[in-house]
Amino acid sequence: MRNSHSLALAATILATSSGALANANELAELKAQLQALQKRISQLEQQATQQAETPSQLNANAIKVGGAVRTNFSSTSYDDDSKNRGGDFDFDMFRIDFSGKVGDIGLNAELRVFDYMTAIKFAYLSYDINRDWQAQLGLTKVPFGNWPYNSHSYFFSTNYYLGLEDDHDLGILFKRQLRDNWQLDLGFFKNDELGGVDGYVEDRTHRYSYDIVGLRAQSEGIYATPSQAVGEYNTFAGRIAYVLPHKGGQSEWGLSALAGGLHDGTTRVGDYSAWAVHFNGNYGPWNVQLQHGKYDYDVTDVAQVAVGAYAFYDSIAAAASMSSFNVAYAMKVNWGPVQHVQFYNDFGMVYSKSDGSADTWMNVTGMSFGAGAFFSYFDIVHAKNQPFIGGSIAGDSDDTERRYNLNFGYYF
């Protein structure tokens, strides 16, 4: 419309001028000016159209980059040197995230850099098959138990150290969106995130998620490099949940199960499986989580298996039961820059162990708080035979250990 009005105005000027001009050269010059004006108007309209379309095109085909930097202060009962120093303040990790969509294919990835290792937490492509189903291919999350976490604290629950909370493996996951109150996740995972028992990596403990990495001989130490390496493979996992809305929120009941094989690089040496029932209820500012289940690494004459994560080996019983109970209260506040606070108490146990070792338990009382881009945890942890709290799930100690922990994070 703007172009036609301009041409009409120029034509009027030309008609008036042509009657007044007797010189043919002046008429030709005026026509040339009119052509130049028309060309310039077309250029301006094209530029305006491109500027209007470009933002929507970028938003539809954008990969966002974010991340975090976290530091950690801790004071413990089980490290005399640290107690003499009044605790230690350490760099926790640097994290970079990628998320977004180009065309119909989505990307989600997270890389974590620690002082002692670099690990990819997850990295997968996603595709919406239809309005109900999404497929995720790559290093994606194993569907199991309360989702996305069976915990509120920085330390997760005892399940995390068994490889049964926030675990990520290489495979394909099909997620059914919540519909008619039901949600379903089905996955097949070829092997763990480092390529299985014979993956081409320098150190199989350089990973974020706990996985089995070997079988324990009776003569081996809890933290020793396992003499017989093994890895999980061909694992099927499923999680089904029913969500019931109610006054003040909603409650979810669910069942999870997984089963797969164990391979030593040459042949299958055994099987492994796990199951859990879970409950996750939201009642206004309150959240309640319950979970109970069992796991079993079924290998002849093996009572303990070696697991790896965070650049060190540890051990767990080949089979055990696990239970947890968590409660949290969230509130908005106006404490200077602090806008959100959540108070919580998470309790978990690992018991009835096949190796006859003592029970593991951990209780975390704490709070998390957010202030703009900052998010932090303050935890008071009491535990027995618990990793990162002075023990091991395969330990046999009677001592209850304590850890005060403050984690600071800046997210961008």
For the segment 283-308, what is each residue's pLDDT rounded down to a tens digit? 999 999 999 999 999 999 999 999 99
Q: Give the sign of the dihedral formed by CA 76, CA 77, CA 80, CA 84.
A: positive
Residue among 213, 209, 150, 74 at smallest CA distance from 349: 150
Instruction: Calculate the CA dihedral of residues 25, 27, 32, 34 and round it to 10 degrees.
Output: 160
Give the residue-averaged pLDDT of 256-282. Answer: 98
Give the residue-averaged pLDDT of 21-45. Answer: 61
Question: How much is the pLDDT for 174?
Answer: 98
Note the pTM of the prediction, 2 decimals: 0.85
Question: How much is the pLDDT for 41?
Answer: 58
Give the residue-averaged pLDDT of 383-399. Answer: 97
Q: How far apart are CA 380 and CA 63, in angstroms?
A: 38
What are the backbone dihedrals phi and psi of residue 36, each rounded to the nearest 5 degrees, phi first? -65, -40
Does pLDDT of 372 surpass 80?
Answer: yes
In a domain, 41, yes or no: no
Q: How far apart are CA 183 and CA 25, in angstroms?
A: 80
In a domain, 62, yes or no: no
N- to C-terminal Cα separation, the chain: 45
In this prediction, residue 177 has a pLDDT band, given cuts at 50, 70 and 90, of confident
In a domain, 52, yes or no: no
Does pLDDT of 383 surpass 90?
Answer: yes
In a domain, 111, yes or no: no
Give the structural domain span for 348.
116-411
Q: Give the sign of the dihedral formed by CA 39, CA 45, CA 47, CA 53.
A: negative
Does pLDDT of 374 surpass 90?
Answer: yes
3-class state of residue 71 by DSSP: strand
Give the residue-averaged pLDDT of 68-87. Answer: 96
In a domain, 374, yes or no: yes
Q: Which residue shows structure tokens 């997968």?
A: 124
3-class state of residue 256 by DSSP: strand
In this prediction, residue 341 has a pLDDT band, given cuts at 50, 70 and 90, of very high
**CA dist list (Å): 104 to 54, 135, 178, 231:** 19, 12, 21, 34
Q: How far apart are CA 272 and CA 269, in angstroms?
A: 10
Share of the chain above pLDDT 90, in %: 83
159-197 burial string, b = 16+ CB within 10 Å, else e?
Answer: bbbbbbbbbbbbbebbbeeeeeeebbbbbebebbbbebb
CATH of residue 251: 2.40.160.10
In this prediction, residue 281 has a pLDDT band, given cuts at 50, 70 and 90, of very high
Asked whether 67 and 88 are in contact (CB, 8 A), the reply is no
Q: How far apart are CA 78 and CA 3, in angstroms?
A: 80
Helix (H) or strand (E) run with residue 348 in it: strand 338-351
Q: How far apart are CA 22 and CA 243, in angstroms?
A: 87
Give the residue-averaged pLDDT of 61-69. Answer: 93
In a domain, 96, yes or no: no
In this prediction, residue 178 has a pLDDT band, given cuts at 50, 70 and 90, of confident
In a domain, 67, yes or no: no
Q: Which residues contact 293 (CB under 8 A, 6 or more apart)?
A: 145, 164, 256, 274, 275, 276, 277, 321, 322, 323
Asked whether 210 and 167 are in contact (CB, 8 A), the reply is yes
Q: Mean pLDDT score of the chain, rounded to an integer?
A: 90
- Please tell me the number of Cα atoms within 13 Å of 256 on its side-chain side: 26
Compute the C-alpha angle 257/258/263, nearest 5°.
160
- If one counts the domains in the chain, the total is 1
3-class state of residue 355 by DSSP: coil
In this prediction, residue 33 has a pLDDT band, given cuts at 50, 70 and 90, of low
In a domain, 340, yes or no: yes
Question: How much is the pLDDT for 110?
Answer: 98
Asked whether 386 and 158 are in contact (CB, 8 A), the reply is yes
Q: How far apart are CA 241 and CA 224, in angstroms?
A: 39
Compute the C-alpha angle 114/362/93, nearest 5°.
10
Question: How much is the pLDDT for 232?
Answer: 98
Question: How much is the pLDDT for 28?
Answer: 64
In this prediction, residue 239 has a pLDDT band, given cuts at 50, 70 and 90, of very high
